[in-house]
Structure 1
């Protein structure tokens, strides 16, 4: 573990609560603050819901959940902390103000990381006195299970801050990925957005239903993507590597790119997707589906944890 021992979680919604549970499971001292009193009050319940799943992955965890401090103010939450994980609403103006407030309250050498899923760090750090310690540490939901954390630096972010954040996330069991340049949406969400865009096109044109799209991914490429990415997938598809893949499929690739759709987000498309989705997988409550998702993720993580087919 690094010298980072005390964490402030700012924003205790779905993502913030997930981070809080995970930080506690790693033996860290955690303080939490949310200006919405109701959200902060629900935090212990959300941590309790995640704890059994965390114990499935780490048998050394006690049934007793470590104490978390529910701070009454930003100042109380950030006083003397080593690291701040912000998970407020995905609103740029709000986060700019929030970063300025956190920058003023946190110790000078504390890292301030945002869980933002798309915003530019250069904007978030724009009102900070110490922008050099500000960056994005973007998790994937649920953050107490999914290993990936995308680290994004802004133009004023110092190298030491990126290095310290990467070391910290890796030390607590995450898989940090440092982006080579600042870009909105980062890497994984841009890939997801490309797939979602084409999924919406297929539904809008009547080529597929929500169930068709989900099943195509679930029983097809999704299985491979659990342990290898698209480039390795295509390299193996070429038989002898990427060069051979391009030799065989280059013309087909260009044609298929031209055929990808440009869906228009209309009221009709939105309502069609909602109706089909609810008929397909909302036969159970959202909470029950989320629990079953977590159980499946635990089994998947156990199956792939020691699997590196290129190593």
Structure 2
């Protein structure tokens, strides 16, 4: 059964790669986050394919998707929906917002107001939308793929740390290499997004997510993640370490990587592969560390190196 699931997952990735050149590692991590039932934050400069990746995944997964460009005038009701009076029935009826979908592409999330950001993140956390006292569940599966431009760009509103913590992973796509960019230039008129086929549907995705939860994780891996989280909380260079939410996210992504690789059990290499995208964005370093020109990258790398990886006999 695991081999069948592995084949399906790889087929989805193959479809997405029709529209995205040379970013296999990024695509795999996004697929892992979807398998883990989490949300994705893609943080990078404009024009590197953040939106294309999001649309490509929605098409390959065969689920409903909506895109919202987060500008300063976007309101919370644009996400949650609102009640409108219907004079024909003399009642109020619910008009769904963009949050009522399977995959929501929240484009440039840090260009909208903090109030609207909070409305979206509440839907992400609870999986429900409440309007006028009536709570409605969002469709399952539900994934937010949010993109943001670097902090400091004109018109941006930085996400608070507590909100960034709600994203399962944070990724940076980066510029393509020369060979990859040449391929992109040659294919600019191919309309690759239109060639992507739907490989699965909502029901199959839910089944894959449930199978991911059943991936076996050895006690030594649980201990490693707990020790790593504790080390970040003890560090004099870190103001806020990894929260229990971050530790849970790490385990989910470890299971998802094993699933992506066609295994029913997790290995130490699953741990090393997910640490940075899952945990690093949850750390807040002290002003003293910044004064000493220490980066989150360096501090986190030192903590990771100080804790021996679990050894599992297969």
TM-score (structure 2 length as normaliser):
0.28
User: Which structure ranks higher in relative contact order (CA pairs < 8 Å, sequence separation ≥ 6)?
Assistant: 2
TM-score (structure 1 length as normaliser):
0.28
